[in-house]
Structure 1
Amino acid sequence: MTSTAQQRLLWRHVTVFDGIQTLPEPMAVIVEEARITTLVPMRDFDDDHAAGCREMARGGVMTPGLVDCHTHLVFGGSRADEFEQRLEGASYAEIAEAGGGIISTVRATREASEDALFEAALPRLQALIDDGVTTVEIKSGYGLNVADELKMLRVARRLGEYLPVRVVTTLLGAHALPPEFKGGSEDDSDGYIDLICDEMIPAAVAEGLADAVDVFCESIAFSVDQCERVFQAAEKHGLPIKAHAEQLSNLGGSALAARHGALSADHIEYLDQAGVEALQAAGSVAVILPGAFHTLRETQAPPIAALREAGVPMAVATDANPGSSPLFMPTLMLNLACTLFRLTPREALAGMTAHGAQALGLKESGRLYEGAPADVCLWHIDQPAELAYAVQPGRLRQRIFQGQVTTEASHDA
């Protein structure tokens, strides 16, 4: 990280996307003490503004630092063999019966030490940083017992202390039923929900490891009633909630989450109009995950037009995980959100800045305005739409996190 403490940093003639829209004329931006102190049109900028500043660059496109509001970056093992097996004709059921699927990741994650999980996650998180991310959410969900869920969350916290990125942690104990609670027709899913509510959530709170609680509300995971019990336990401990919902069917998980004031409902391919209206009424964010849709070759797209018509904010995230979205390039998600789901480039970029921050409950992040936190990216492009238009690494010119330059390309300014 380049030390810029106590310096005033200046950019001139930049095209600014402020998190919601592109400002209509070239701007000057000054950062000081980890805040944006000046954001003015160049026609109003003079030498008095520039006094004492270190000039960083001229031209290019400036955006808020990208916000990846839904990831599963901490996990053990790999599912590359299953990817190959599926392409050779094996079904998900056959792979699961052979010990694959999410349970294989659970097994590998349980066997891995905290150090091993940390070392494995570092390059994944670095890839997000190199593509402009300044804030990332990391979920647990591959431990499925108290000790290993907490282990994952400790690794996530450690990643945020080691790399220049803001890490928000989410406890996803209700991700899948662990093997020890399975018994054919005698599955004890209610017993596992008891464990989450009575032991896992209190333990995470006691160690200060969780910023939110998530559930997977789906027929292959947990019922609406079971998810509501988790929400109630989270609320009891003062934690906000999120939900994986309506990914494979419409159980009403998004509406349930909205009734509990959820930060977001994520995936939502099968969301109906009642669910859209519930999210709108609650002010919850719809998190769109095109990576999983692409990888799983799904055909049911989220109801983008209905969400747009209702004014529901739409976030975009990588869903980076070992099974359904082993994709660690946020700007690729901008392209996929546009090409697969028909978001506009402006909507997609807002989804990975202002609306991504909103999905994490971060009121100040994801926007550029005077007084905003100085989490900023400058890109080697001419207009913001290019970030979604092309899938092209190497466009990040400068990345500033908390007022400090963490990335500075060797290109001429």
Structure 2
Amino acid sequence: MSVSVLVTNCSQLVTMAGPDRPRTCKEMRELGIVHDGAMFLRDGRIAAVGSRAEVELLAEPNTQVVDAGGRVTMPGFVDAHTHLIFAGNRADEFEMRCSGMTYQQIAERGGGIRSTVRKTRAATEEELIAVGQKHAQRFLRGGTTTVETKSGYGLTLDDELKILRAVRAVSRTTPLRCVPTFLGAHEIPDEYKGRPDAYVDLVVEEMLPAVTRESLAKFCDVFCEDKVFNVKQTERVLRAAKKLGLGLRVHADQFTSSSAVELAAALGAKTVDHLEQTTADSIAAMKQAGVQPVLLPGSVYAIGSQKYAPARAMIDAGLPVVIATDFNPGSSPTASMTMVLSLACTQMKMTPAEAVTAATINAAYSLNLGHEVGSLKAGKVADFVIHDAEDYRELAYFFGSHRAHRVFAAGAEV
């Protein structure tokens, strides 16, 4: 039996209507807002969007009515850079940073990513699934309905597969849509200290083939920094991943500037992420190659840095900017996309509308999901959020305390 739902009495229905591609320049400020709007859903998908007067006529005798109560209704956030699955936390390192140590100093003493690796290796797959399910609820409560999520806290064949299997289980057992990314080249594990090329051999020759055999990932990512994986090593991993049919993403220009962005552009990467230290030449290379920048202001804030990615220069250059949480236990322990919206506006000088675009439709296209989610359009999956706000600008304005009023994934309240 067909299930229909009428969502009505929306102060602003933020549809993100526009071209079927990532939005750039002035398009990022055009949100397709319908005032006093409504949506009609059928079987978990959007059937119609428009004014209350138009859409309420579509209601049938058995239609469920969702009254937004004069609140903002908009697409579920799409968080295009997270690390959903890990064991333990790094609250001790947070205290160290508060006492003056830098993120890099802590890593050099055996903390950082390697600390989480040790805890994650010790956890069972079932324990990691339980952690992932708990984290999924955090995202959903904040209005995020889709996340990209990376492995990278295992750094052995079995442990990387364990993490990716846990991601698959979380996606199947919660309403949170998870897009998995293999990040075996996240850090050089302790047992390969001083032998990074040997570890790259393991990633390329054993991990990547196993990941693709089990269809555990859609993308491959590499953390490209001179003290982790240099550009040559990064290229080797990315070329191997591309040959196996995975999409490419790259952590680049976070702490230092290198030619990683140009490499990503040359290889046809979907995104380059972080970019706090990027240059005008790298921005031009992304523009020419059609690479989407994914900016992570939460991680800049959390490690106490003052250097945010040059979002304004990227938008002005015509890049379809994405913003994401970088949720992880060390450098960005937040699942709050509204906090990221606020940081994007106050620290990177994006407008509230640009930030919303970067966290919805642009993020969806960066995951090859722009045809399914990221906007409220007939035919798309009915992932949407009723926010406790009358105006979308309030999401970034009231920072630190926002909770979504009601969250829906595939038309069902979650």
The verdict on a shared fold, with TM-score over 0.5 as the criterion, is yes
Matched, 1:31 2:41: yes
Q: Which residue of 1 aligns with 2:120?
A: 109
Instruction: Structure 2 unaligned segments of length 5 or more: list them.
Output: 17-29
Residues 136 and 340 of structure 1, relative CA distance in 2, 3 Å threshold: same
Post-superposition CA distance 1:236-294 (Å, at most 9, x none)? 11110001011111102122112211111110111111211221222221111011100
- Which 10-residue stretch deviates more, 394-403 or 335-344? 394-403
Residues 36 and 112 of structure 1, relative CA distance in 2, 3 Å threshold: same
Identity %: 39
Deviation for aligned residue 1:324 = 0.6
- Equivalent pair of 1:131/1:393 in contact (CA under 8 Å): no
Residues 385 and 91 of structure 1, relative CA distance in 2, 3 Å threshold: closer
Post-superposition CA distance 1:179-217 (Å, at most 9, x none)? 1111xxxx2211111111111110001111111100111
Instruction: Structure 1 unaligned segments of length 5 or more: list them.
Output: 407-413
Q: Which amino acid aligns with 2:393?
A: A
Post-superposition CA distance 1:131-173 (Å, at most 9, x none)? 0111011101111111111111111111111111111100001
Q: 2:162 aligns with which of 144, 151, 156?
A: 151
Matched, 1:50 2:64: no
Q: 1:251 aligns with which of 249, 258, 272?
A: 258
What is the alpha-carbon distance in structure 2 between the residues aligned to residue 93 and residue 338 of structure 1?
27
Equivalent pairs, count: 397
Q: Which residue of 1 aligns with 2:367?
A: 360
What is the alpha-carbon distance in structure 2 between the residues aligned to residue 393 and residue 293 of structure 1?
20
Q: Which amino acid aligns with 1:55?
A: V
Q: Which residue of 1 aligns with 2:8?
A: 12
- Equivalent pair of 2:141/2:403 in contact (CA under 8 Å): no
Q: Which residue of 1 aligns with 2:31?
A: 21
- Equivalent pair of 2:252/2:272 in contact (CA under 8 Å): yes
Matched, 1:218 2:225: yes
Residues 92 and 246 of structure 1, relative CA distance in 2, 3 Å threshold: closer
- Equivalent pair of 2:298/2:325 in contact (CA under 8 Å): yes
Q: Which amino acid aligns with 1:62?
A: T
Deviation for aligned residue 1:84 = 1.2
- Equivalent pair of 2:34/2:51 in contact (CA under 8 Å): no
What is the alpha-carbon distance in structure 2 between the residues aligned to residue 240 and residue 98 of structure 1?
34
- Equivalent pair of 1:34/1:402 in contact (CA under 8 Å): yes
Which secondary structure state, in structure 2, belongs to the residue aligned with residue 25 of structure 1?
A: strand
- Equivalent pair of 1:10/1:55 in contact (CA under 8 Å): yes
Residues 96 and 43 of structure 1, relative CA distance in 2, 3 Å threshold: closer
- Which 10-residue stretch deviates more, 316-325 or 84-93? 84-93
Q: 2:145 aligns with which of 134, 152, 157?
A: 134
What is the alpha-carbon distance in structure 2 between the residues aligned to residue 156 and residue 229 of structure 1?
26
Q: Which residue of 1 aligns with 2:268?
A: 261
Q: 2:390 aligns with which of 364, 379, 382?
A: 382
What is the alpha-carbon distance in structure 1 between the residues aligned to residue 304 and residue 402 of structure 2?
28
What is the alpha-carbon distance in structure 1 between the residues aligned to residue 6 and residue 412 of structure 2?
13
Residues 45 and 254 of structure 1, relative CA distance in 2, 3 Å threshold: same
**Structure 2 length normalisation: TM-score?**
0.91
Matched, 1:205 2:212: yes
Deviation for aligned residue 1:12 = 2.2
- Which 10-residue stretch deviates more, 134-143 or 394-403? 394-403
What is the alpha-carbon distance in structure 2 between the residues aligned to residue 267 and residue 23 of structure 1?
30
